[in-house]
Structure formats: C-alpha cells, structure tokens
Amino acid sequence: MTEKLYPLTFTLNGSTITRHVTSRLSLADFLRTEMNLTGTHVGCEHGVCGACTIRVEGRLSRSCLMFAIQVEGMTVETVEGLNASGELHSLQEAFHELNALQCGFCTPGILITAAQLLQETPLPSRKQIRDYLSGNYCRCTGYHAIVDAVEQASQKQAERR
Amino acid sequence: MANQPFSVLDRPNSYIGKSVPRPNARRLLEGRGRFADDLNLPRMLHTAFLRSPFAHARIIKIDAEKAKAAPGVILIADGKDVATHCKPWEGTLAHFPGMKSPLQFPLPLERACWQGEPVLAIAAESRAQAEDAIDLVEIEWEELPVLADSETALDPDTPLIHPELGDNQTFNLMLENGTVDQTFADAERIIEKTFHFGRHTAVTVEPRSLIADFDDSEGRLTVYYSSQSPYQMQDVFSRHLNITEDKVHVICEDIGGSFGMKLHVYGEDLTTCALSIMTGRPVKFTADRFESFVSDIHHRDHRVHAKMAVSNQGKIQAMEIDDLTGIGPYSVYPRTSAVEGNQVVRLTGGSYQFTDYRAKLNVVFQNKNVMCQYRAVGHPIACSVTEGMVDFAAAELGIDPVEMRRRNLIKDDQYPYTSPTGLIFEKLSHHQSLEKVLEMMDYDALRAEQAKLREQGIHRGIGLATFIEITNPGPAFYGLGGARISAQDGCMMKLEPSGKIFCSVSVTEQGQGTETVMAQIAASELGMPLDDVRMLTGDTEKTPYGGATWGSRGVGIGGEAVLRAARALRNNLLEVAGAVLQCSADQLDIQNSQVIDKNTGTERLSVAEIGRIAYFRSDTLPQDFHPQLTVARHYVPQGPPFAFTNGIQASYLELDQETGFFKLLKHWAVEDCGTQINPRLVEEQIRGGVVQGLGAALYEECLYDEQGQFLNPTLADYLVPMAAEIPDIQVGHVVTPTAYSELGAKGAGEAGTAGAAAAVMNALNDALRPFKTELTRMPFTPERILRALGKV
C-alpha cells in the first residue's frame, strides 16, 4: 500500500516550491529530507526544545509540530534563507565574537527567535531577552553569552538605524 | 632547546591567553553544521527499535510476520540474529577488584531488564516505514519481579536480577585512613545527615545518531557517528563485530552536545552496524527524544549518609560516608558504572585538612535504564556532601560559612598534599579562590542586605561550595583496568605548499572549542597567524590515535602533543630556511609567517617560499637534504595520575516561602585550571557546566514508579534549565599552572557542574534557616520545599 500524496505549493526562502507530500510528513522532516535544508534541527519532536524553530507567515513556528501540508500557500523562512537575506548578520557576528554557541545544534533556532525579538523589540532588556528565548533549550552555554550576544547585536543594529 | 629564546607562553604574537573567536563556529551560525543525521548515503536504510514496555520481563514469543510484509521493510532482527554478528560485552574493569556484571548483548536474547531496553530492530527504506512495522510486531511477555528501589537491592529477600552473579551488587569498596572511630568517640560535635541525588540524564539537544556503512567488497565498516570517542569506538566495533581494526573507520563531524553521554557502548549502535553487515547497505539510526530518555545513559542516583566530627572551635576532625548508588541492570561497557561511586568516595572531603576518613560504597543493580559516567563524574555528589556538611557544622557552631572554610581548607602553602584517599594535589589555591569569590560577590554587603531583607520577611540565602576537579587523567583511569581507551594523544602537522599549516589531532570537538585552542597553540609555537592553521579532528583514519575527549583532558594532553608537533615542524622549516639562506637554523626564527633573523628581527624568507622551494625546487637545495615537512608527535600525561584543579562557587537566591519556589538571583564561579589558552572559552565551559549543575539542583530527575516505569520521559515533563530561570553567571580566575607540562594547562570542563548544585543547596538551606528546616534531597522542587516548611 503506498501512501497517498497531496500537492503542496508554498514559498520557501523566497522561492516558490511545488512538491507532493504525504499527509503525515512533518514540516521539519520535509525541510530536512526533501529540501535538504539541514540547518533546521530536530531535538525533541514535541515542541519544547526550539531547535526546529522557523518562521511561517512572519511568525515563529515549531516545524516539528506542523505538517508540511499545513504550509500550503504560505511563506516559510529557515535559517538558510535568513542567512542569505542578511537578516541574521548582526546576530551572527555577535554570537561569533562572544562565543554564544558551543555545539551549535540549538543555534539556528535561537538565531531565528532572537531575530524575531529584535523585530518586535529593537532594544530589549536582558530580562526581555531571557523571557523571549525561554522556549529555546541550550545545554552547552548556560545562556549568559547568548543574552550578551543578543544585547550586543541589538545595540549595533540600533546604532545603524 | 638551546635555540628557544621564548617559551610558547611568551613568544611574540602568541595566541596563548587570547580570547580569539572560534573559526569553526561560523558554519554553525549559518546553518551549515554537519551533524550525523544531516547526512544521507545512497541506498541508505533506516532503523527503528521495538523497546520493552516492562522493566523486567521474559520474551516468550515474537511474532513479526505482519511486520515482515509491511511496506519498505528490508530486515527484522532480534537479539539472536544480531548476536550472530556481534559479540556480547561485560562492563567490568580489572582494577575494580571483585566487580561483576553479566554479559550484555546488543539486543537481549531472553529477557528485557529495563523499560525501554531495545529488543528488536527493523531496517526499512524510511524511518516512518520502520516505525510503522514496529507497531505490527507482537511480543508475548512474561513479567518478572522488578527491583526499582536501590535501597532494597541487597536485602536477602529481594529477587536477584542476575541469579548467576549471586547478589544484586556489582561493586563495593571500603576506604579508611587514620583513626576514625577514636576521633568520632572523642568528638565535641558530630553532625549526621543523609543526602539524596536524583537520577538524571544528559538531554543533549542532538539525540544519539549514527550511520553504519559496511562495504562487503572490502570488508570495511565506516561509521558516521555522533560520538566524542572515535578511537575507543573503532576498537569496540572491531572487536565486537569481528572486523580488523584497520578496516573500521569512525568519523565524528559536528556533535550536538555529548557531556560524557556519547562515549558509551549502546546496543542500538552495535545493532545498527550489524544491520548494515546483514543488509550490505548503509543504515541510519537517530534516537527520538523518548528513546533518548529511556536509553541514553543516566547518571547520579546516589544516597549518601554522612557524618562529620568537629571541634567547638570549628575544626573538622573526621568524616565518614556511606554511598549507595543504583546503576540499572548492567554495568555499562567499556568504562563501567563503578567509576562515579568510586570518585564520590575518593573526592569527598578532599578540599579540607582533616585526615581521619572512612567511606563505604555499594554499587547495585536495578531494573531501570543503565547509569554511567557523565560530566563531572561523581564530583557534584562529593562536593554537595562535603560542602553541605561544612555548612551544617558551621550553622550548628554559629560560625560564618566563610570563616569555617578559612579554618579548614588546605592552606595554599601546604602543597604538594596527599588526601586521606591518596589523591595527590600538586598545587591548589583554595584560599586565594575563596578570597576572590568573596570580593566578586561583595560578601559582607550581601550578608548585610540579607539581614535587612529578612526583617521585612524576604528570605534570601547565600551559599558557597568549594570543589576539586580531576583533569588530565593518565592510564590509571581505564588502561590500567584493561580497557582499550588511550590516555595519550597525538598530533600530525604538515606544511602545505602555499605556506599554510594543516594540523590533525586526536582530541575531539563538541563545541567546547578544541580546534580553536589547538590552533592557537600551533600558531603560537610556529610563529604563524591563526588563520594559517587548518584543523581536523574526529576521524580515525586521518588523525593520530588518541584518547579523544573525556575527563577534561583536551588541552592538558592534546595541547601538549600539538605544541611538540609545532616545535618539530618549526625546527624543520628553519632547517630548510637555513639551507636556502646558507646560515645556521639556530640564527633564525619564524614570526608572522616570515623567517626572521633572530638577532636583528630582519625578515629573510616567507614560510610560503619555504613551501615553494622544498616541494617544487628541491634541486636548489644541498645534495641529500630531504626537507621534513610533515611531523607527528605524541604526548603522555606526566606526573601524578591526575592533574587536580580547584575552585569555588557561590549562589544568591530568594525563597518564596508561600509557593515553595526560589529564584536564583546571581551565581559566581572562580576556577583555577592553570594556564588558560583561551579565557573566553574557559569561562563558557564554566558557565555551561554551572547551568548543568543547576539543573540537578532545580529540576532534573528521572522519575520511576515501583514497577520500574519511567514516568517523565519527555521534555514537557522532565524539566531542564531554560534562559528565563537562569541568572547571569560571573566567572573569575585564579591561575596556578601545573609544572608537569610546558603549557601548564589543566582541564576546565567539569568545574562548573562540580560545584553548582552544592552552592544552591547551601544557599537554599541558608534561606530556610530561620524556619528551622533544611533540604538535602535534590532536586529542590517547590513540593519538597513546602513539605520542609510544613505547608503541605
């Protein structure tokens, strides 16, 4: 018995994508295996760790908690797209300089979450940064350097405006 | 070394002590990491495991007929099938006398001994198909008696998990020094407490993952592996799968966290290799989060009774502890599950001057997931027991905890010092570290603030925890006991024709910055810019053989190998330069990739020019001169079996006596790891370690019921520290280099985890003191706090 495939068309990192997918394929698995966008990481598959965080229709989403078929007609952005667009640049520089990552597995999800925070709150306090990142689990850093880096990136972005 | 004007520590443009960013972090920031699950090979199969629903049950019958016919299924293998390709193992070491553990097969032959133990594997074209087929397998089980509570493991009427072993004990140990009984008999005060440490697990964000690719045409096995210990696993795969070592290639690219969890032998991993052998196709296994919880090694799970004798003047005179630890149904191979308990009994009390000490250790089997070494093996238990007892004694005597430590810590001029359990401390800095942390936290002001707030009904607590840390372990750790785990490391270095340097080393990278630090050492000693050194780690075919990463050994051992290789290569480069320039190599040095005249500093020749001449115009060199442009060096750790480090942590928290919650306000850590190659990376190791330690104090516990069922194996139920609950962590340093190596570097990987929970426990009990209650069972959940306060 082969599983039924459904047509799917959506915008991924600025390009229109058309594929056929099974109804049960998670968006995270679709991005990783069908689109080879392996920057989206799967850490828990139940929406807690935040490693699979992406942007759907401009809002943060857990790609492990969505089916691929759910993004029909929508706009999806992954770390690869946000890297290419330059939106993550200030954050990446600050994360690099301040070593706000160790193993790097949680990092794409954290960068996307931080980028969203800076869109909504250009100059967040340390407490606001900690609260906003409270859905992104990092086992390596202890978070302090991540907060430092988001703070530094926000200040650099503000100076440029 | 007559021609060495400078040591590596003070060469011009040295990178030693510089917080350079990690070059290999860039691709991780751009989503270009290469984790094992990111890789897909042609014809690759995926495997899923059927796991025991019971903590202890006999397999009566397996019916896999429906599964065989399911879409995409290629192979179904049970314990017997896998055993035809993979030999079982026994998790014992010869230097733990009397230790016993049964043979363990990758998948059990007859019975499952913990809930979640893998019992059957299915290889299919996709993971989804493999999982679908697992659901179609029917197993008839006969439930067996469950041993869930380690306190009852040694009772005479408790059924034996492995009757052939005679009892439920895998290892026991008794240590004694001095006149313990007499000292307790004469003691002015005796403090007695019992501490409990929850069972927890690593929860690396990247689950365990591997691809095994057996090529039948050459009989070669290649394993792409999320592992911190590729050489050990090359040996294990070779011996247990009956493939000669030269035909096993282990490749560890990016590792999404490991912390000691990803260096043990797992049944799923050997099974995945066996499936590749059986199918002739690459096979991938990536654990999902539930599988991680029930099959990644757990750690801690200790109950410690402790007794301390003190004088009325606050002098600690003796300590006695009794540690009981449950390790699951098997001692984990090849490092064994006795090491943590062994370290608890050897490290306890180790920061203090008393000599009368007795320790008893019982390591017992249970029907729970296996327990083994994880970051700061044994340290948090030893530290929490010791520091908890010091504070309880201080409180009873009405002495400030700082003063209690000043009176009892081994003095900074008392070294070398041998502990009651025979540990040799070359040189530690307890008092200097204590004064440093007091200054950082402004202790007196904090005490004043605490007293003032207490009058307003706000209950804050301050806790200190001194610790020692085992680093740079020599062969006494594993090699001595018969485990083929190397304690030495090697480095290979070559000059590229372009004048750049390629360097491979046998210590591995999991994000702590190994490659960066090794490149800093190489670049400093060579006299080259950091950007000119390209590093490779984690590949058994392309690097020298070594011990890889565990026990905080990377810089202290691997770094010395790199230093020696770089020196040898620089000398060889200068020999070529001398031949070209027709002068003695002794008159030359390298700075910023230029060969210079040592006396005048004049630039004579570039390293790139050496590459060009040596590789392409060797006709211009003297007859029979053969430039040696690739070198390799190994380093064996010197001196005592371990290089001990020390430090101290402090916690400041506020208790809400109505809800039982407490808020961490600030955390301080001072550590002394000797020479720091990259201070920022040291600080980040400390901070990350601290937060793992905080997890144990605040939230983390694998909860089992009396039937051995794991009650909270999801990230929604098993809580880990997240950004919002964790305070800023201020790190300070004291630097006491080891004299046994050139760099003087000791390890820093476990210090944070060693002392964090103890500092929080002492702070919490400090806050609870006005309520005349205390807590010694971790984690300190709101429920436990409310119970202690008599509110529930």
Q: Mind listing the pLDDT tens digit for each residue in B41-89?
A: 999 999 999 999 999 999 999 999 999 999 999 999 999 999 999 999 9
Say yes or no: B37 contacts chain A, CB-CB below 8 A: yes
Its CATH architecture, for the domain B298-475+639-788, is 2-Layer Sandwich (3.30)
C-beta atoms of B206 and A144 within 8 A: no
Contact (Cβ atoms closer than 8 angstroms) between residue B771 and residue B664: no
- Distance from B30 to chain A by nearest Cα, in Å? 6
Class of domain B25-33+488-635: alpha beta
Q: Which residues of A touch B676 (CB under 8 A)?
A: none
Mean pLDDT for A151-160 is 94
Select from B30, B132, B254, B286 the residue whose CB has the most chain A CBs within 10 Å, as the one to mutate to test that interface. B30
Numbered ranges of CATH 3.30.365.10 in chain B: 25-33+488-635, 298-475+639-788
Fold of B36-144+203-295: Aldehyde Oxidoreductase; domain 3 (3.90.1170)
Tens digit of each residue's pLDDT (9 = 90 or more) over B338-396:
999 999 999 999 999 999 999 999 999 999 999 999 999 999 999 999 999 999 999 99
Q: HEC string of A38-80?
A: CCCCCCCCCCCCCCCEEEECCEEEEHHHCEHHHHCCCEEECHH
Which residue matches tokens 């190596």?
B741
pLDDT tens per residue, range B605-618? 999 999 999 999 99
Contact B723 A111 (CB under 8 A): no
Among A48, A92, A141, select the one facing B687 at the smallest CB separation.
Answer: A141
Residue B506 and residue B489 in contact, taking contact as beta carbons nearer than 8 Å: yes
ipTM: 0.98
Arithmetic mean of pLDDT, B460-476: 95
Over residues B650-667, mean pLDDT: 98
**CB proximity A149 to B under 8 Å:** no
Spatial strand order in the sheet of B298-310 = B169-177, B356-364, B316-326, B298-310, B189-201
In this complex, is the C-beta atom of A137 within 8 Å of any C-beta atom belonging to chain B? yes
- pLDDT band of residue B10 (cuts 50, 70, 90) is confident
DSSP B207: P
Query: What percentage of chain B has pLDDT greater than the value 70?
Result: 99
Contact by Cβ (8 Å): B689, B756 = yes
Q: Which residue has the tokens 């003691």?
A: B187
Give the residue among B515, B495, B493 at the shortest CA–CA distance from B503: B493
Instruction: Tell me the per-residue pLDDT of B273-293, one tens digit each, with 9 for 90 and over.
Output: 999 999 999 999 999 999 999
Mean pLDDT of the region B8-29:
93
Question: Under an 8 A CB cutoff, do B28 and A104 touch?
Answer: yes
The β-bridge relationship of strands B316-326 and B356-364 is: parallel
User: With contact defined as beta carbons under 8 Å apart, do B346 and B175 qualify?
Assistant: yes
Domains identified in chain A and CATH numbers: 5-82 (3.10.20.30), 86-160 (1.10.150.120)
Tell me the two tokens of residue B83: 């055993």
Residues A137, B681: C-beta atoms closer than 8 Å = no
The residue of chain A nearest to residue B24, with distances taken between CA atoms, is A96
Asked whether residue B731 carries a pLDDT value surpassing 70, the answer given is yes
Rg (CA), chain B: 28
User: Is the pTM higher than 0.95?
Assistant: yes
A26 vs B: CB within 8 A: no
Residue of B nearest to A132 (CA): B724
Residue pair A32/A43 in contact (Cβ under 8 Å)? The answer is no
CA distances from B252 to A152, B233, B264, B367, B448 (A): 33, 11, 15, 32, 52
Q: Tell me the three state secondary structure of residue B690.
A: helix
